Amino acid sequence: MLTMRSGVDMLKQGFPKVIKNLPEADIQFKGVRGWIAQGESHQIVFFEIEPLGEVSEHSHDSPQWGVVVEGKMELTIDNKTKIYEKGDEYFVPAHAKHSAKFLSKFRSLDFFGEKMRYTPKDR
C-alpha cells in the first residue's frame, strides 16, 4: 500500500513513471529533460533541469506559462529579474526576451501556446 509520505518522497526523486512515459522532448541543452503532453494547438512540458548555469536569452512566437514544482530559478523577462521557487507561477508573453539561471535541481510544468515548441525525440 502506498502511503501519502512515500508518495511525497517518490515525487522528490522526479516525475513519476506516468509522466516519464510521455514522449521525451528533443532538447539540446545539457542537463535539461522534458516530457511532452501534446494538445491540438499547444504543448505542456514537464521539465527536469540540473543546476547547469544559464539558458541564454531567447524568445518564442507564443506565450509560456509555468509553475515551479521543485527548486529555484532566476528568471529574467524583458530585463526584469525575479527568483521563482516551489509553487511560484511565471508568465512569459509572446516575443518577450527571457533567460534563466537554475540555482538548484529544478522541476516545472510549462504550457506553450504553440503546437510544436518541442519535437519528440526519436524512440
- Grid cell 540555482 is found at 103
Residue spans of the domains in the chain: they are 4-112
**Domain 4-112 listed as CATH 2.60.120.10:** yes
CA distances from 117 to 33, 87, 93, 114 (A): 14, 24, 14, 6
Which residues have a Cβ under 8 Å from the Cβ of 120 and sit 6 or more positions away?
Answer: 23, 24, 25, 26, 36
Helix, strand, coil percentages (3-state) for the chain, rounded to 5, are 10, 45, 45
Which letter does DSSP use for residue 19 in this model? H
Mind listing the pLDDT tens digit for each residue in 43-77?
999 999 999 877 889 999 999 999 999 999 999 99
Residue 123 in this model has a pLDDT that exceeds 70 = no
Q: What is the pTM of this model?
A: 0.87
